[in-house]
Structure formats: C-alpha cells, structure tokens
C-alpha cells in the first residue's frame, strides 16, 4: 500500500538537483509497481521528521529527511536514492567502514560514503519511534512474552530491536562493483545496494529474511533482532502516523508514478538486426529451454530456466549497433512492469528483450 504518495518536485535549474529528483521518482515508480496493492507492505515517500528530543548541536530540534520508507510487520527499510553515473566500487576502508569510489571519465574520485550517514538517520528514526512505542504498538505475541521479559526486561513491543535495514538505489546507468561483502560481524541485516529497478525484488527477498529472523527462537540479545514483529494493524498504524507528520506542499499535490521518469537519454523504438537476442529469441543457454522466469541480482537481470533450473543473463548487446553493456554502461536492461527493455545509449534504441506472459 502507498501510505504517503510521491510528490512531483518542481523543475530544478541545477543539474545535480534535477538528477537527484529524477532518481527519487524512478525508485518511487518501481516501489509503487511492486507494492501498491500489497496489504501488508506500506510505502512512504519524502518524509521529514523533527524531534526536539534529539536536538541539533545548536539546540534546535533534530530533523531528517527520508527519501523512501517501507514498513511491514517484521521490520522497515530506509531507502535512499542516489544519482550515480559511471562505475562505483565499494570496498572496506580497513577500519570496519566502507569506501565508495566513483570511476567516471577514466578518473577515480572518492565519494562520501552514504552508509554512515544513513545509519545516523536510521537511529534517529528508531529513537523517535521508540519513545512513542506505547501509542503505536502493543505487546509481543503471547508465546514470546516470557522469554522477552527475562532477556529484555519488558514484554512490550518497541522499536529498539526492530529490523531497520538500509537500502541504496543507484541510477540505472550506474555500475556497482563490490570488492568485498558489506556485512559486518554480527550484523544480521546488512545494507543493500542495487539499481533502482531491482530494489523491489531485493526488498521482497529481505522481507523473507526478516520473517525468518522473527521467530521465538530468535529472541535474545545478539540474536537477530529479538524476535521482533508487529500486528498487521500496528504496521498500518505506524505508516499512517509517519505519513501524517510531513506536510506536503499544497502546490504539488500527490501524484501516481504511472510512468518512469525521463532520464534524458534519447531513445527510439524498434527492432534491430545485430547480435542481441530479442523477445522472441529468449532461451536458456544451457539447455535451450523456453520456459523461463525473470530474476535479478548483483550482475543484473537473468532468466531462470524451468527445465534445468540454471540461470542465463539477459543479453547486454544492442541488436542495432552492437554496443555492449556492463563495463562501459552503454547498454543496460530495465524492468517496466511486465516488460524487460534494453536501452542503448550509443544509438538510442529501446527494445523489448522479454515480456512476462
């Protein structure tokens, strides 16, 4: 469900602000496509929360803005939209943190790592909700109360142990290269980094992990997040409470994201004649099977073969000019509802690679 709709931003003269707004709208579009009719998942866009109990150094009320927030019974996702062109490498900085390095135009530039800043936002939100626990959520389910009271000193459900997972959605034309894992020792739910159109699938997979980590056997210090889960009506109530905190601009009424944002890439439609497979040619490269399902991962979109169970990457070769994707980002595949499209930055062709039957 969309608890707080996306609001279109006014046209920006600054190119960077315009790119940031475009990145937010694209993520909002994909989240809406996936969760608009989901009764147990609540999506909020463009939240701004003030909290006098967490003041700024100058004494003014603490305040943070959140691009997107997803709330469900067993946790939350704080999603940040990042406008990134070129290749981004994520590696350890040697001190338990992370270093983001951007390669663009043949030059490497270190970026401010968004993870630490997002963790600050997450703790701000956690503290804000924790102080309102009694009005927002009730007690733990009956079977977990005794254990929780022994371990945590209370059987009342709060937000101290709630899974609040960080998700970073980068531009569709960005390339993400991971030198090492981002999961720290003892970290049950590590940050997720992916392209905008893959984020809903990644969130769905992580929701399954939240569900697995919320059983009674997970209650206890150091074990996942203490068997944390809300009642369905409480999850809806938390989303509604947060949505009501942000006063939207009346001049910019809420709007459905029925179409993805124009990312300033000139495109032409049609079928090419090069080496790239088209919709009617989709097949498993291992057994030539044609019964396929779509999946996505760190290396992009792929087909899962129903016959042999193996994966085949969707081809990143433009069928018109032969340009290739992945390393130089000239060609990429994006998902728009039931269609998988291949866009070529070199010649502007946008063609359908595969359509869900």
Q: What is the DSSP string of 70-114?
A: EEETTEEEEEEEE---SEEEEEE-SSSSEEEEEEETTEEEEEPPH
> What is the structure's pLDDT at 114?
83
Chain-centroid distance, C-alpha 10 = 24
Overall average pLDDT of the 237-258 stretch? 70
Give the whole-angstrom CA distance, residue 70 versus residue 113.
22
The fraction of the chain above a pLDDT of 90, given in percent, is 19
Does residue 167 carry a pLDDT above 70?
A: yes
Supply the pLDDT for residue 334.
Answer: 82
* % residues pLDDT > 70 (the chain): 70
**Helix spans in the chain (H):** 15-35, 114-130, 133-136, 142-152, 199-212, 232-243
For 132-186, give the DSSP string.
THHHH--BPPHHHHHHHHHHHS--B--STT--EEEEEEE-TT-EEEESS--PPTT
Return the pLDDT at 259.
53
- pLDDT confidence band for 257 (50 / 70 / 90): low
Rounded CA separation 86/176 (Å): 9
What pLDDT shows up at residue 142? 52
pLDDT at 67: 94
Between residues 187 and 274, the one the model is more confident about:
187
pLDDT at 122: 93
What's residue 31's pLDDT? 92
For residues 119-135, average pLDDT: 91
What pLDDT score does 96 carry? 64
Least confident stretch, 93-102, 112-121, 143-152, 241-250: 143-152
Q: What is the pLDDT of residue 124?
A: 94
Nearest 10 degrees: CA dihedral of 251, 125, 66, 260? -100
Alpha-carbon span 346 to 90, nearest angstrom: 27
The full length of the chain comes to 357
The span from the CA of 168 to the CA of 191, in Å, is: 8
Task: Between 330 and 31, name the one with better pLDDT.
Answer: 31
Q: Report the C-alpha dihedral over residues 73, 74, 78, 84, rounded to 10 degrees.
A: -110
Least confident of 112-121, 183-192, 218-227, 275-284: 218-227
Cβ neighbours of residue 345 closer than 8 Å, sequence gap 6 or more: 173, 265, 323, 329, 330, 331
Q: Please name the helix (run of DSSP H) or strand (run of DSSP E) that holds residue 296, with its range, or none.
A: strand 292-297
Q: Is the pLDDT of residue 219 over 70?
A: no
Confidence of residue 278 (pLDDT cuts 50, 70, 90): very low
> Cα dist. 13→16, 18, 253 in Å?
9, 7, 21
Question: Token pair for residue 43?
Answer: 């999506």
Q: Are 315 and 341 in contact (CB under 8 A)?
A: no
The separation between CA 60 and the C-alpha centre of its own chain, rounded to angstroms, equals 31
pTM: 0.71
The pLDDT of residue 187 is 58
Asked whether the predicted pLDDT for residue 342 surpasses 80, the reply is yes
Residue 186 or 128, more confident: 128
Q: Which residues pair with 89 in a beta bridge?
A: 101, 177
Report d(CA 315, CA 135) in Å as an integer: 52
At 14, is the pLDDT very low, low, confident or very high (cuts 50, 70, 90)?
confident
Mean pLDDT of 15-19: 78
pLDDT averaged over every residue in the chain? 77
Poorest-pLDDT segment among 43-47, 180-184, 286-290 = 180-184
| CA–CA dist 216, 228 (Å, integer) | 9
**Whole-angstrom Cα distance, residue 275 to residue 259?**
29
Q: Residues 171-192: what's their mean pLDDT? A: 62
Please tell me the predicted confidence (pLDDT) of residue 115: 83
d(C-alpha 198, C-alpha 256), whole Å: 20
User: Region 296-312: what's the mean pLDDT?
Assistant: 85
**In the structure, what pLDDT confidence band is assigned to residue 276 with cuts at 50, 70 and 90?**
very low
The pLDDT, as a whole number, for residue 240 is: 94
């Amino acid at each position: 469900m969309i608890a707080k709709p996306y609001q279109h931003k006014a046209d920006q003269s600054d190119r960077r602000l315009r790119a940031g707004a475009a990145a937010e709208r694209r993520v909002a579009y994909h989240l809406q496509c996936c969760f608009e009719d989901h009764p147990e998942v609540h999506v909020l866009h463009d939240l701004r929360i003030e909290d006098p109990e967490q003041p700024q150094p100058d004494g003014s009320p603490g305040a943070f803005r959140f691009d997107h927030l997803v709330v469900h019974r067993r946790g939350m996702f704080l999603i940040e939209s990042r406008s990134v062109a070129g290749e981004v490498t994520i590696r350890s900085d040697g001190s338990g943190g992370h270093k983001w390095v951007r390669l663009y135009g043949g030059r490497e530039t270190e970026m401010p790592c968004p993870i630490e800043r997002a963790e600050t936002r997450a703790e701000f939100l956690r503290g804000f909700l924790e102080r309102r626990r009694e009005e927002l959520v009730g007690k733990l389910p009956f079977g977990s109360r005794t254990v929780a009271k022994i371990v945590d000193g209370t059987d009342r459900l709060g937000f101290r142990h709630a899974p609040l997972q960080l998700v970073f959605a980068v531009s569709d034309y960005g390339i993400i290269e991971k030198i090492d894992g981002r999961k720290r020792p003892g970290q049950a739910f590590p940050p997720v980094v992916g392209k905008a159109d893959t984020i809903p699938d990644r969130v769905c997979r992580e929701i399954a992990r939240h569900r697995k980590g919320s059983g009674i056997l997970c209650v206890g210090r150091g074990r996942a997040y203490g068997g944390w889960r809300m009642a369905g009506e409480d999850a809806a109530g938390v989303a509604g409470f947060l949505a009501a905190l942000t006063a939207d601009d009346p001049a910019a009424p809420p709007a459905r994201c029925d179409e993805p944002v124009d990312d300033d890439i000139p495109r032409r439609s049609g079928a090419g004649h090069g080496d790239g497979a088209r919709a009617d040619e989709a097949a498993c490269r291992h057994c030539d099977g044609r019964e396929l399902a779509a999946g996505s991962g760190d290396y992009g979109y792929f087909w899962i073969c129903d016959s042999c169970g193996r994966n085949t990457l969707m081809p990143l070769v433009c069928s018109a000019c032969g340009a290739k994707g992945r390393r130089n980002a000239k060609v990429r595949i994006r998902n728009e509802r039931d269609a998988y499209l291949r866009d070529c930055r070199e010649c502007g062709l946008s063609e359908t690679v595969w359509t869900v039957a």
